[in-house]
Structure 1
Amino acid sequence: MAYTRQQWLTLIVFAIADFCSAVCVSLQAPFYPMMAESKGATPTQYGFVFGIFELTVFIVSPIYGNYLYKIGPKFMFNAGIFTTASTCILFGFLDRINDCNAFIGLSFAIRIVEAMGNSGFLTASFSIIAKEFPENVGATFACLETCFGLGMIVGPTLGGALFELGGYTLPFVSLGCMLLAAATLTYCILPSYTNESKGEEENTGSMLQLIKIPAIALAAYAIMASSISIGFMQATLEPHLRPLQLSPFQLGLMFVLNGLPYGLFAPVWGFLCDKIINPRIVVIFGAFVVVTSFTLIGPAPFLPIPTTLPICIVALVLHGTGFGAELVATFTSAHRDAVLNGFPDDIQTYGLVSGMWTSTFALGAFIGPSAAGALFDLVGFSWATVFVTVLHLLVAVFFILNMCCTARRRPSTGIYTKIHHSLAQTDPEKAGLITGTDDKTPLIRSISDSSYFSATSDSSEEYYVY
């Protein structure tokens, strides 16, 4: 499918905004702890400055998702970027404050507001993706996630270089201004979006109703498990690798090994979910890959193998591949499952699903490092990895059971296809319906009430076939 000019422009400005936003959010990692300690702050205090970001995203994302259709995705997107950029610049002037309590207090305040902006930007961007690219949601989401992942990798490196060049303020001001420029670009290019469903002013769904759908509840669990695994690695990988006596440069490369395969393979998972494979199969595959990764890097207590550099490299590459498959596939399937279960195919539903995805990911990102640190102190790295292994084994088992249960209730072509009923009547094969054998009548599924209809029944609605 060829993209229109508007779609290409949207994709480009999203890629720039995602990259710049990720850089601004992550740039302080190499030098903020040192600055905080110079003011008298403890590791617990400045560690929670990092953690409060994800906790705030978890709290506010469902709220944004629930009211996106009223606020407007373009306004929320631009306001989110502007807020993130402004707070990034403000964070660069904290070194002027000498009182420890004031320094930490303002750090918390700015980081919370920054998280609110970033959450609004992400929730709106995911919704606009679903609106602008209805036939390529997974592939588009994956490409933008690649840009965001690259920004998270480049951020600390670029921030550290600018810190050495011009001190504490320079990286925040220069990169914050870069994000402000990206915000101006998106304001000029992005079109306005309105809710297209009937009863525009009436809320036709809620986050609670969404999460009650079993398939979406499972997707939320898989998203959280994936982000827990990421946070676990971020918090405990360095002390686990310390006995290998790696140089700081080599250690930095080990962290890149975790994110690089995610960025490389994310577009592949998106294409597969959009065009070829049921997204649930991709989630199951990703879960088993993550299980293999944590079994090797521990190594698991029941494996009589030592911790070696080659094994750790293989495990980190597998981890980036596995959690990437889970994240991309859950985003794709959640949108489809919401529509299949009676939610309208409009910007309000996109906002709800996007808010759910952002919120559950943030919750896992908050739980991951917190649980990892406690488990590392309590039982050591090898036994601590069992926690993540079990989480992902449950992801695989639950999705397999869900596929088995749903397969008994509906015909399956492997992927969801949006069709119009008139096409089903005139040309079922072109519509993608199962024609079957033994004179069986093709069935299609209604968006409005999730029931099945014969392809020959009278209706003017649109349907999804699975």
Structure 2
Amino acid sequence: MPKYTRQQYLTLFVFAVADFCNAVCVSLQAPFYPMMAESKGATATQYGFVFGVFELIVFIASPFYGNYINKIGPKFMFNAGIFTTATTCIMFGFLDRINDTNTFIGLSFAIRIIEALGNAGFLTASFSIIAKEFPENVGATFASLETCYGLGMIAGPTLGGALFEVGGYTLPFVSLGGTLIAAATLTYCILPSHNEFSEKESSGNIFQLIKVPSIALSAYAIIASSISIGFLQATLEPHLRSFGLSPLQLGLMFILNGAFYGLFAPLWGWLCDKHINPNIVVIIGAFFTITTFLLVGPAPYLPIEHITIPICIIALVIHGMGFGAELVATFTSAHRDAVANGFPDDIQTYGMVSGMWASTFALGAFIGPSVAGALFDLIGFEWATQFVVALHVIVALAFSAHLCCKKKTPNEGLYTKIHNSLAVTDAEKACLITTSESKPRISPQVSIADSSYNSGISDSSNEYYVS
């Protein structure tokens, strides 16, 4: 367990509460909104797009938030995002008062779009603050909070359904939205401001970020992993329909992914922070996901004639583990790679990387169900799963090639950090860079901001890394 300061523990606490409550509000309408929409005369296509537009808006808005987080301010963006999500959740609870079909669907779209804008701001700011507050434990902290978010996504439909049975359509939205407003008040009082970063000029944009090959690979892996979960959400139920499972049993099958994602995500984060190259963790996650989609079909070319419930359970458990490995490792490596490739180690960079992560995840979540439904109708579930297999074969091969081609330096990672507070003199710097036989290695984490130092030491940096 890392040693955290009191401020870090408080930050973890409010993040955990906010992540859980936000996920509950975003997901609570799944069990009963379709029924309400149909009672107003809406078709499945219409209310299906109400769900789908959420991810599309997150995809569009997240890069914008990431680029301008240093001007908006991470704390303001975080709290404004939570407050927006909470108020739109409450507003969604009064749609049952509207009887006209077009008005009902139109307002559903409008509220869901605004809710997505709030959620995108919340996610981008929270990921950025994590990277700033926990620079030595980004992976483990991100994974732990993702566990809270995953638990909220699981609890949302359950709590929503229970409250719907008790008090009707409005009660779930008002009560759980009110809880999120209380969480927003808590974060406003406790969360650090990071005001020192708010006036800095932008040092790049998300398009420059994606030009870095390793970050582009991470973006692709995020999309592929997000497509995999969206694929199952759209097609697993009709695939298992022949077994005659009860709604409760089907619900438990869907929970397996999230439960094992939540269980293993902190482990993957700990490994990425201290023990294993995150790219290796991505490859492991890709192989787990490939195994899942070979089994859950099962693949037509495997010697398994029919899917069985035990095989499906095993496949979903493996998917939860692999899904977590890919998401946590890509988040960790993207932040490191951005700084290692010359982006400043500040909130602006954290915001751009976080916006990229949230945006690409949302894109995959939008593509996954859409492609899954079309392929399911066209070629059946068994062959449709090979689309996800192919995506993750590419992930495994691309990351393996990147690891092999990456220039490796001996004794990589064995550095001593010399802070500016130690008053390193110009003479001492000269000693570091003019030795011939025992020339110290400079950490690739330091950007070469001043070409006058060919050794890699940056004049503008406050930290120096030597072996």
TM-score range, shorter chain: over 0.9
Structure-2 change in CA distance of 1:185 and 1:302 (3 Å): same
Structure-2 change in CA distance of 1:445 and 1:91 (3 Å): same
Report the counterpart of residue 2 of structure 1 in structure 2: 3
Within a 5 Å distance, the mapping from 1:266-305 to structure 2 comes to: 266-305=265-304
Q: What letter corresponds to residue 345 of structure 1 in structure 2?
A: D
**Aligned partners of 2:88, 2:367: CA distance in 1, in Å?**
25
**Aligned partners of 1:295, 1:115: CA distance in 2, in Å?**
34
Structure-2 change in CA distance of 1:180 and 1:459 (3 Å): closer
Report the counterpart of residue 236 of structure 1 in structure 2: 235
Structure-2 change in CA distance of 1:80 and 1:243 (3 Å): same
1:420 to 418, 424, 435: 418
| Alpha-carbon shift at residue 404 of structure 1 (Å) | 1.2
| Alpha-carbon shift at residue 457 of structure 1 (Å) | 11
Q: Deviations over 1:167-226 (max 9, x none)?
A: 0000000000000000000001112113549xx542111111101000000000000101
Report the counterpart of residue 315 of structure 1 in structure 2: 315
| Alpha-carbon shift at residue 412 of structure 1 (Å) | 5.9
Within the alignment, does 1:329 sit opposite 2:326 as a pair? no
Report the counterpart of residue 429 of structure 2 in structure 1: none
Q: What letter corresponds to residue 309 of structure 2 in structure 1?
A: L
Report the counterpart of residue 210 of structure 1 in structure 2: 209
| Alpha-carbon shift at residue 5 of structure 1 (Å) | 0.6
Within the alignment, does 1:117 sit opposite 2:115 as a pair? no
| Alpha-carbon shift at residue 448 of structure 1 (Å) | 2.4
| Alpha-carbon shift at residue 120 of structure 1 (Å) | 0.3
Q: Deviations over 1:248-281 (max 9, x none)?
A: 1111110111111100000000100011111001
**Aligned partners of 1:196, 1:458: CA distance in 2, in Å?**
20
Contact in 2 for aligned 1:283/1:330 (Cα 8 Å): yes
Give aligned-pair identity as a percent.
Answer: 75
Deviates more, 1:270-279 or 1:241-250: 241-250
**Aligned partners of 1:70, 1:208: CA distance in 2, in Å?**
19
Within a 5 Å distance, the mapping from 1:12-23 to structure 2 comes to: 12-23=13-24
Contact in 1 for aligned 2:289/2:322 (Cα 8 Å): yes
| Alpha-carbon shift at residue 418 of structure 1 (Å) | 8.2
Within the alignment, does 1:135 sit opposite 2:136 as a pair? yes
Within a 5 Å distance, the mapping from 1:258-273 to structure 2 comes to: 258-273=257-272
Report the counterpart of residue 435 of structure 1 in structure 2: none
Within a 5 Å distance, the mapping from 1:31-430 to structure 2 comes to: 31-196=32-197, 200-305=199-304, 306-408=306-408, 410-411=409-410, 413=412, 419-420=417-418
**Aligned partners of 2:373, 2:385: CA distance in 1, in Å?**
12
| Alpha-carbon shift at residue 235 of structure 1 (Å) | 0.3
**Aligned partners of 2:373, 2:465: CA distance in 1, in Å?**
45
Structure 2: gaps (5+ residues): 426-436
Q: What letter corresponds to residue 227 of structure 1 in structure 2?
A: S
Structure-2 change in CA distance of 1:343 and 1:195 (3 Å): farther
**Aligned partners of 1:261, 1:464: CA distance in 2, in Å?**
38
> Partner of 1:419: helix, strand, or coil?
strand
Q: What letter corresponds to residue 269 of structure 2 in structure 1?
A: G
**Aligned partners of 2:205, 2:225: CA distance in 1, in Å?**
24
Q: What letter corresponds to residue 34 of structure 1 in structure 2?
A: M
**Aligned partners of 1:178, 1:416: CA distance in 2, in Å?**
47
Contact in 1 for aligned 2:457/2:464 (Cα 8 Å): no
Contact in 2 for aligned 1:130/1:137 (Cα 8 Å): yes
> Partner of 1:186: helix, strand, or coil?
helix
Structure 1: gaps (5+ residues): 427-437
Contact in 1 for aligned 2:292/2:315 (Cα 8 Å): yes
**Runs of 4 or more off by more than 2 Å in structure 1?**
194-197, 410-413, 415-423, 438-466
Structure-2 change in CA distance of 1:100 and 1:131 (3 Å): same
Q: What letter corresponds to residue 69 of structure 1 in structure 2?
A: N
| Alpha-carbon shift at residue 304 of structure 1 (Å) | 2.6
Structure-2 change in CA distance of 1:155 and 1:458 (3 Å): closer
Contact in 2 for aligned 1:344/1:447 (Cα 8 Å): no
**Aligned partners of 1:460, 1:392: CA distance in 2, in Å?**
39
Structure-2 change in CA distance of 1:382 and 1:14 (3 Å): same
Within a 5 Å distance, the mapping from 1:451-462 to structure 2 comes to: 461-462=462-463
Q: For the aligned residues, what is the CA RMSD?
A: 2.4
**Aligned partners of 2:465, 2:222: CA distance in 1, in Å?**
25
Contact in 1 for aligned 2:25/2:86 (Cα 8 Å): yes
Tell me how many residue pairs correspond in the alignment: 452
Contact in 2 for aligned 1:73/1:127 (Cα 8 Å): yes
Contact in 2 for aligned 1:194/1:347 (Cα 8 Å): no
Q: What letter corresponds to residue 330 of structure 1 in structure 2?
A: T
Deviates more, 1:29-38 or 1:186-195: 186-195
Q: Deviations over 1:109-159 (max 9, x none)?
A: 000000000010010000000111010000000000000000000000110
Contact in 2 for aligned 1:54/1:366 (Cα 8 Å): yes
**Aligned partners of 1:149, 1:84: CA distance in 2, in Å?**
17
Q: Deviations over 1:268-321 (max 9, x none)?
A: 001000111110010000001000010000101101311101100000000000
Contact in 1 for aligned 2:123/2:358 (Cα 8 Å): yes
**Aligned partners of 2:155, 2:239: CA distance in 1, in Å?**
23
**Aligned partners of 1:312, 1:292: CA distance in 2, in Å?**
11
> Partner of 1:420: helix, strand, or coil?
strand
> Partner of 2:443: helix, strand, or coil?
strand
Structure-2 change in CA distance of 1:303 and 1:418 (3 Å): farther
> Partner of 1:444: helix, strand, or coil?
coil
Q: What letter corresponds to residue 62 of structure 1 in structure 2?
A: P
Q: What letter corresponds to residue 372 of structure 1 in structure 2?
A: A
Q: Deviations over 1:73-103 (max 9, x none)?
A: 0000000000000000000000000000000
